[in-house]
Amino acid sequence: MAQIFPSSANNYAKATILAIPVLAIGLFAGYYVFMTSPYITNQKIARSQPVPFSHKHHVGGLGIDCRYCHTSVEVSSTAGIPPTKTCMNCHSQIWTNAALLEPVRYSYRSGTSLQWEKVNDLPDFVYFNHSIHVNKGVGCNTCHGKVEGMALMLQQNSLQMEWCLECHRAPEKNLRPREEVFNSAYEQPTEAKPVTVDGKEYTDQIALGTALVHKYKLRSVRDITSCSTCHR
Amino acid sequence: MDSETTMSKPEAVCPGKQDDPKVKLVQLQEHLAGDDAPEYWRSLEELAGSAEFRESMHREFPKGASEWLDDVSRRGFMKLMGASVALAGLTACTKQPTEYIVPYVRQPEELIPGRPLYFASAMTLGGYANPVLVEAHEYRPTHIEGNPDHPASLGGVNIFAQASLLDMYDPDRAQYITYLGQQRSWSAFTTEIRGLMNAQKALKGAGLRILTQTISSPTLAAQIKALLEQMPEAKWHAWEPGNRDNVYAGAQMAFGQPVETQYHFDKADVILSLDGDFLSADFPGFTRYARDFAKRRNPDGEAKMNRLYVMESGATPTGMKADHRLPVLASQVEGYARALAAALGVGVSGGSFGENGKNGENGENAKWASALVADLKAAHGAAVVVTGDHQPAAVHALVHAINGALGAVGSTITYTDPVPASPLNQTGSIYELSRDIKDGKVDALFILGGNPVFDAPSNMDFAGMFKGDRVPLRVYLGSHSNETAVLCQWHVNESHFLEAWSDARAYDGTVSVVQPLIEPLYESRSPHEMLAVLMGQAGFTGPEIVKFHWLKEKTGKVAAPGDAVPADFEATWRKSLHDGMMAGSAPAPKVLAVKTAIAASAEQVAVGADTVEVNLRRDPCVYDGRFSNNGWLQELPSPMTKLTWDNAVVMGPALAKQLGIETNDVVSIEADGRYATGAVWVQAGHSDKSVTLNFGYGRERAGRTGTGAGFNVFPLRTHDAQWTIRGAKLVKKGDTFKLATTQGQQSIETPVGTRPLAREGTLAEYKQNPKFAGEMAEAPSRDNTLYANVEYKDRSWGMAIDLGACIGCNGCVVACQSENNIAVVGKDQVLRGRYMHWIRVDTYYQGDRNNPKAMYQPVPCMQCENAPCEQVCPVGATAHSTEGLNDMVYNRCVGTRYCSNNCPYKVRRFNFLRFQDLDTPQFKLMRNPNVTVRTRGVMEKCTYCVQRINQARMESEKADTPIVDGTLKTACQQGCPADAIVFGDINDKNSRVAKLKANERNYGMLADLNTRPRTTYLAAVRNPNPELESNEQAERS
């Protein structure tokens, strides 16, 4: 009986044995890349909003403080999205006829809310609280990025658990003095630009962060990585 | 461990082969003769040692709970399986759906998004205000608690007030006005009414009748009185099936005027209840009474421990808490009361402590009574006697006389004017209405709330009177399209108390303003607004009606619609809104002289050999049927029977044996030519020769939840036999009906003679050996473990539950359900043991099954330090926090159920199906936004309200102040009227919980397993009369 497979089939078989783990690893790697890609996380993807509100203009250009609009950031879990009234505080005086702002004026006239597409959106089983982060010296732009440069609001980070834990496992990498939390121009200390806290100059973020961890009485890493810190 | 026995009996786990679990009385008798009867038992099945019970105890969930027994074809099953396998890999990480933020246009001043606001209000039940504090997230009410500043609450709250939240969001509520079933506008209604009222004015209102429930609202009463002044021929009637006619008639007999009695159990050393279930949630003043009673139930308290004697016809929590309990027929109470009064020196004659045989003059009852009389006399000035709404007027009058003789008035009792403003003789009132209707005198009937077609005395036949044109115009104001609504031409949908302004008086007469939390969900109306229309004052808004009434009351000023009120009145008004009560509105105590010539009640038919006495009572869960469509209350296990979704014909084991009836057997009850049918529940401790039926079930038009649940027993109830029917016949029908009880489910094995789970002793035992509870089982040393010992240096949360204080009212269960978004599963699922309550109340009976004692033991998660569940979770979905919480991470749970299998306390609950209603929009508004809504395939359990802990911790860190002990409360603690649950930081040696844990009565349940539970119990202590105790002991031995 003639051979069914040519002898080259042996090589195919050997190649297959090699290929299976490579493929499997490739599949997992691909899955990981896919699941952490902006397609899934929405990272850095601009959304269509009823009004193309520009943080670049309002924060970067005019220098309005974060808390003028996000009023509850220091006291509540949510930073708060401003009511239409906040927009109209200024826009009843300036740009009163701009076509771009018609949705705002319509909202104010009619009493119907503006509907913003949520940019930084955590899953519903995660309970994030802005106030505690702000009070412990986590700056706005640590998570939200350079908002003052964003014409349309973008999600700066992946907001996946891995990213949260990076900081919860080593908060000293990101803490800054409370007074600097809302300062969008704040930069981490360097030799050239040290940061002074309680009369002491810090030239290194880890040193500063560690000092602040003590100063602000942060709970231990074990405490803040307990499941119920964020999930309940 | 006899799991091998179970293994060797394969037929025991084979579905279909087994009989329904029932009490086999023969088995029970045989078993009791043996030595292995348990000292404590949770159900008669356990006492009987039935094979079914043993098997269920060894199971993680009852049989069938983990099996899919629905009729699904093989093909359908394969399809579903195929789909779930295909999708399994995709569920772990999914793209977030697009969500929207909808900010305010103009943000209200006090609101901070993400932070709840609390408003004081009051929930009215049976005319009495239950002061509450309502939690609102962005003005959506999400949780109801007691008002800690109000004397009638002190922070406690009953189950009805807490569960009424669900009523507001009930999707079955009537959503618009109808005329003959067709939708109509409010203006169409008011136009029609205006025409009617103009016609009636000419007749001085001769054809106008208003039927309300019990009303204590001063504003509504004033409105109705003003209307009656305009139309003197019109009449105001009132009816509630759970009326208090006997209470006021009894006061009339004793004092010549109706009065309200308020008890001060905190001052009482000796309490006697003559069939008065004052520890039941439907008793007016219950929350305060429970607190006061529990305070004096503490053997370590400042004042000496109280002693409770109970004579009762049914089996109630009050009886089970008693130091001495005597099951009697409801109709015998009068005789006992009369004899007692005579013995205490009240000038009445007749009555005796016993009838014949064993209970004869020198029998057991007489001994009981003489010890009681001596005790009451010794406690002169600090004794009190209580009786129930269902006892005839003569008993109430006798009790007044006895209290007078005991020097109770002014110390343990105060009298005030009656709280209700509506007619006090409701039976007479509704009888008069029915007569007027029959005589054709009624042209227009306005029914403001209630459900008379369902619950009026059956001999009046309201359903029949409402058909045809006997009453030409019938208008019903009610929240649901119920039995009454369909027989009225007009149905105006009524606002919930969280949606409308009103006011009401609490049991002590203090006025609370009922302030709404939210705009009506469906353009509904309150009774005040309805009355305003009748009086042609439609220009007044709901808030104005109430506010202007009080303006007139306090300052004499009359305001017109839209008027502003004077600033000083506005200030006091706002303060009373904030406080939840009006300062100084409680009526002054009355000083009254009691008459002692008290006539006996009319002779009634004696109980014959083949007849029984029927007790008709309010249901402990659905009240009089008004909460039928409330899933939380339907699924709440009844305090004694632990029945859910049904009422039953409750009888004692002796009667069941005599009639050859077992639990689940259907019987028909015939009384005076009227019939009702129901399934039997055999209840330990129920008095012999009588059955108890709870009315309120068997609704035909309650809504999706309540329609068809239970048996309607109202057909038996006539105006002259509302509470007790003598001479009823019980006939076994031959078929059975499966009652869904949680009793016996989630039971824990306790071999005879070892480690009782609920522990108690007498005061004498406690004094002799304060450590008796801890010595009942050996707790291993901390080092006796393979796992590393974890030190909790910072905070460490713990809970102590006082079994002596717990009265089994279920307040904690409803509080938890509301706080933690716990699903309702339905009767079918309860039967499979899939109910979801995170905290359950176990009842442990002890002693003679015809007259047992019982302890209530609330069981939440023990938050074990060595948690067995954590060791077996393959995905790390349950893990310890650094503060000692046993965290449950829903999003990580894959549903293996290993954890619940390994939990010795059986406190874990699994979502076998998607029990949450995720689609109904109303329920989305209701849920606590701080707790994840769990879906199918996820394990859940008590978290010690971790959302509250986190919130308190963050606030304390932000303010850099410690969490003050007592400010952070779990929902169950807050909902407990008896203050039996205490939660806090056990590392803080000055915290209340740490002190309780240092108490010698403290013990850990199953602590011998070395789980190191954070939830521990304080053993109950009873205070029996030494004189009677020795008798009882002698009998036992």
> Which of the four pLDDT bands, split at 50, 70 and 90, describes residue B850?
confident
Q: Which residues pair with B857 in a beta bridge?
A: B842
Q: With contact defined as beta carbons under 8 Å apart, do B898 and B873 qualify? A: yes
Q: Do A80 and B883 touch (CB under 8 A)?
A: no
Q: Do A83 and B107 touch (CB under 8 A)?
A: yes
Q: How many CB atoms lie within 10 A of CB B371?
A: 18
Q: Is A231 on the interface with B (CB under 8 A)?
A: yes
Measured between beta carbons, the chain B residues lying within 8 angstroms of A228 are: 881, 885, 887, 943, 946, 949-950
Instruction: Give the separation between CA B617 and CA B722, rounded to whole angstroms.
Output: 9
Q: Do B891 and A231 touch (CB under 8 A)?
A: yes
Could you say which of B794, B881, B954 has the minimum Cβ distance to residue A129?
B954
Q: Which of A36, A54, A226 is nearest to B95 (CA)?
A: A36
Predicted local distance difference test score (pLDDT) of residue B26: 47
Chain A nearest-CA distance from B974, in A, is 20
Instruction: Judge whether residue B1032 has pLDDT over 50.
Output: yes
Using the CB atoms, write b or e for B944-975: b if 16+ within 10 Å.
bbbbbbbbbbbbbbbeeeebebeebbbbbbbb
- Search chain B and give the residue with CA nearest A137: B958
- Search chain B and give the residue with CA nearest A82: B103
* Span of B29-43, B694-708, B753-767 with lowest mean pLDDT: B29-43
Instruction: Give the separation between CA A28 and CA A19, rounded to whole angstroms.
Output: 14
Measured between beta carbons, the chain B residues lying within 8 angstroms of A39 are: 95
Q: Is B947 on the interface with A (CB under 8 A)?
A: yes
Mean pLDDT along residues B36-54 = 67
Instruction: Judge whether residue B85 has pLDDT over 80.
Output: no
Measured between beta carbons, the chain A residues lying within 8 angstroms of B887 are: 226-228, 231-232
Chain B nearest-CA distance from A10, in A, is 34
Q: Is B91 on the interface with A (CB under 8 A)?
A: no
Give the gyration radius of chain B's Cα atoms: 29
Predicted local distance difference test score (pLDDT) of residue B1029: 73
> Which of the four pLDDT bands, split at 50, 70 and 90, describes residue B606?
low
Mean pLDDT along residues B200-216 = 91
Q: Is B861 on the interface with A (CB under 8 A)?
A: no
Q: Do B889 and A227 touch (CB under 8 A)?
A: yes
Supply the DSSP string of B956-1011, one letter for each residue. Answer: HHHHT-PPPTTTS--HHHHH-TT--EEEEETTSTTSHHHHHHHSTTEE-TTGGGT-
Q: Which of B287, B291, B294 is nearest to B152 (CA)?
A: B287
Q: What is the pTM of this model?
A: 0.90
- Best interface-test mutation with A: which of B880, B882, B945 has the largest number of A CBs within 10 A? B882
Helix (H, G, I), strand (E, B) or coil at B947: helix
Helix (H, G, I), strand (E, B) or coil at A187: coil
Instruction: Give the separation between CA B346 and CA B624, rounded to whole angstroms.
Output: 36
Q: Is B899 on the interface with A (CB under 8 A)?
A: no
Predicted local distance difference test score (pLDDT) of residue B56: 63
Q: With contact defined as beta carbons under 8 Å apart, do B1020 and B759 qualify? A: yes
Instruction: Report the length, in residues, of chain A.
Output: 232
Q: Is A217 on the interface with B (CB under 8 A)?
A: yes
Q: Do A118 and B954 touch (CB under 8 A)?
A: no
Instruction: Judge whether residue B598 has pLDDT over 90.
Output: no
pLDDT digits (tens, 9 = 90+) for B675-725: 999 999 999 999 988 999 999 999 999 999 999 899 999 999 998 889 999
Q: Is B967 on the interface with A (CB under 8 A)?
A: no
- Search chain A and give the residue with CA nearest B942: A232
Q: Which of B183, B251, B186, B237 is nearest to B209 (CA)?
A: B237
One-letter amino acid for residue B21 of the chain: P
Chain A nearest-CA distance from B506, in A, is 36
Q: Is A109 on the interface with B (CB under 8 A)?
A: no
Predicted local distance difference test score (pLDDT) of residue B127: 92
- H-helix or E-strand spanning residue A32: helix A8-35
pLDDT digits (tens, 9 = 90+) for B128-163: 999 999 999 999 999 999 999 999 999 899 999 999
**Token pair for residue B1030?**
């020795």
pLDDT digits (tens, 9 = 90+) for A128-152: 999 999 999 999 999 999 999 999 9
Higher pLDDT among residues B512 and B354, named by residue: B512
Structural domains of chain B ordered from first start: 177-239+422-491+515-565 (3.40.50.740), 245-416 (3.40.228.10), 612-741 (2.40.40.20)
Residue B1012 CB partners (closer than 8 Å, separation 6+): B782, B864, B865, B866, B1004
CA–CA distances in Å: residue B417 to residues B248, B263, B276, B735:
10, 14, 21, 51
Helix (H, G, I), strand (E, B) or coil at B676: strand
Q: According to DSSP H, which parts of B801-906 are helical?
A: 811-819, 827-831, 868-872, 898-901
One-letter amino acid for residue B919 of the chain: D
Residue A193 CB partners (closer than 8 Å, separation 6+): A187
pLDDT digits (tens, 9 = 90+) for B898-922: 999 999 999 999 999 999 988 899 9
Q: How many CB atoms lie within 10 A of CB A123?
A: 13
Q: With contact defined as beta carbons under 8 Å apart, do B319 and B689 qualify? A: no
Could you say which of B103, B930, B950 has the minimum Cβ distance to residue A82?
B103
Q: Do A125 and B95 touch (CB under 8 A)?
A: no
Chain B nearest-CA distance from A104, in A, is 9
Could you say which of B102, B104, B115 has the minimum Cβ distance to residue A76?
B115
Predicted local distance difference test score (pLDDT) of residue B27: 52
Q: Do B957 and A83 touch (CB under 8 A)?
A: no
Instruction: Give the separation between CA A70 and CA A89, rounded to whole angstroms.
Output: 14
Give the gyration radius of chain A's Cα atoms: 25
Q: Is B916 on the interface with A (CB under 8 A)?
A: no
One-letter amino acid for residue B556 of the chain: G
Could you say which of B95, B107, B885 has the minimum Cβ distance to residue A40?
B95
Instruction: Give the separation between CA A70 and CA A79, rounded to whole angstroms.
Output: 5
Q: Which residues pair with B691 in a beta bridge?
A: B614, B651
Instruction: Give the separation between CA A229 and CA B946, rounded to whole angstroms.
Output: 9
Residue B827 CA to its chain's centroid (Å): 19
Residue B206 CB partners (closer than 8 Å, separation 6+): B200, B233, B234, B441, B443
Q: With contact defined as beta carbons under 8 Å apart, do B861 and B834 qualify? A: no
Q: Is B788 on the interface with A (CB under 8 A)?
A: no
Chain A nearest-CA distance from B70, in A, is 31
Predicted local distance difference test score (pLDDT) of residue B288: 94
Q: How many CB atoms lie within 10 A of CB B588?
A: 9
Chain A nearest-CA distance from B96, in A, is 7
Measured between beta carbons, the chain A residues lying within 8 angstroms of B105 are: 83-85, 107-108, 111-113
Dihedral Cα A37, A39, A41, A44, nearest 10 deg? 90
pLDDT digits (tens, 9 = 90+) for B616-657: 999 999 999 999 999 999 999 999 999 999 999 999 999 998
Chain A nearest-CA distance from B580, in A, is 26
Strands B128-137 and B1015-1018, by their bridges, are: unpaired
Q: Do B103 and A83 touch (CB under 8 A)?
A: yes
Measured between beta carbons, the chain B residues lying within 8 angstroms of A135 are: 957-958
Instruction: Judge whether residue B251 has pLDDT over 50.
Output: yes
- Provide the phi-psi class of B49: left if phi over 0, else alpha when psi is between -120 and 50, else beta: left
Residue B434 CB partners (closer than 8 Å, separation 6+): B456, B460, B462, B465
Backbone dihedral angles phi then psi of residue B141, each to the nearest 5 degrees: -65, 130
Predicted local distance difference test score (pLDDT) of residue B65: 61
- Best interface-test mutation with A: which of B91, B93, B796 has the largest number of A CBs within 10 A? B93
CA–CA distances in Å: residue A185 to residues A73, A145, A194:
19, 11, 14
Q: Which of B881, B827, B836, B861 is nearest to B972 (CA)?
A: B861
Predicted local distance difference test score (pLDDT) of residue B19: 39
* Cβ within 8 Å of B, A 167-206: none
Measured between beta carbons, the chain A residues lying within 8 angstroms of B940 are: none
Q: Is B950 on the interface with A (CB under 8 A)?
A: yes
Q: Which of B495, B565, B488 is nearest to B525 (CA)?
A: B495
- Search chain A and give the residue with CA nearest B930: A127
The share of chain B scoring above pLDDT 90, in percent, equals 60
Q: Do B103 and A127 touch (CB under 8 A)?
A: no
Residues of chain A with pLDDT under 50: none
Instruction: Judge whether residue B47 has pLDDT over 80.
Output: no
Instruction: Give the separation between CA B628 and CA A194, rounded to whole angstroms.
Output: 69
Instruction: Judge whether residue B791 has pLDDT over 90.
Output: no
Q: DSSP class of residue A60? A: I
Predicted local distance difference test score (pLDDT) of residue A4: 85
**Token pair for residue B976?**
């407990």
Measured between beta carbons, the chain A residues lying within 8 angstroms of B892 are: 227, 231
- Best interface-test mutation with B: which of A228, A229, A230, A231 has the largest number of B CBs within 10 A? A228
> Which of the four pLDDT bands, split at 50, 70 and 90, describes residue B17?
very low
Instruction: Report the length, in residues, of chain B.
Output: 1037
- Search chain A and give the residue with CA nearest B820: A232
Q: Which residues pair with B761 in a beta bridge?
A: B1021
CA–CA distances in Å: residue B490 to residues B180, B248, B442:
7, 34, 16
3-state helix, strand, coil in chain B (%, to 5): 30, 20, 50
**Token pair for residue B973?**
């603690």
Predicted local distance difference test score (pLDDT) of residue B846: 85
Q: Is A75 on the interface with B (CB under 8 A)?
A: yes
Predicted local distance difference test score (pLDDT) of residue B976: 93
Sign of CA dihedral B210, B213, B218, B220: negative
pLDDT digits (tens, 9 = 90+) for B384-417: 999 999 999 999 999 999 999 999 988 999 999 9
Instruction: Give the separation between CA B523 and CA B23, rounded to whole angstroms.
Output: 51
- Search chain B and give the residue with CA nearest A116: B101
**Token pair for residue B396?**
């109430």
Q: Do A229 and B950 touch (CB under 8 A)?
A: yes
pLDDT digits (tens, 9 = 90+) for B797-845: 999 999 999 999 999 999 999 999 999 999 999 998 899 999 999 998 8
Instruction: Give the separation between CA B817 and CA B812, rounded to whole angstroms.
Output: 8
Counting runs of H as helices and runs of E as strands, what totals does chain B give?
32, 40
Q: How many CB atoms lie within 10 A of CB A200?
A: 11
Q: With contact defined as beta carbons under 8 Å apart, do B287 and B156 qualify? A: yes
* Cβ within 8 Å of B, A 28-67: 35, 39-40, 42
Instruction: Judge whether residue B471 has pLDDT over 80.
Output: yes
Strands B760-762 and B690-695, by their bridges, are: unpaired
Higher pLDDT among residues B359 and B624, named by residue: B624
Instruction: Judge whether residue B356 has pLDDT over 50.
Output: no
Q: With contact defined as beta carbons under 8 Å apart, do B739 and B646 qualify? A: yes
- Provide the phi-psi class of B270: left if phi over 0, else alpha when psi is between -120 and 50, else beta: beta
ipTM for the complex? 0.91
Task: Give the CA angle between residues B278, B281, B285 to the nearest 5°.
Answer: 60
Predicted local distance difference test score (pLDDT) of residue B6: 36
Instruction: Give the separation between CA B947 and CA B845, rounded to whole angstroms.
Output: 35
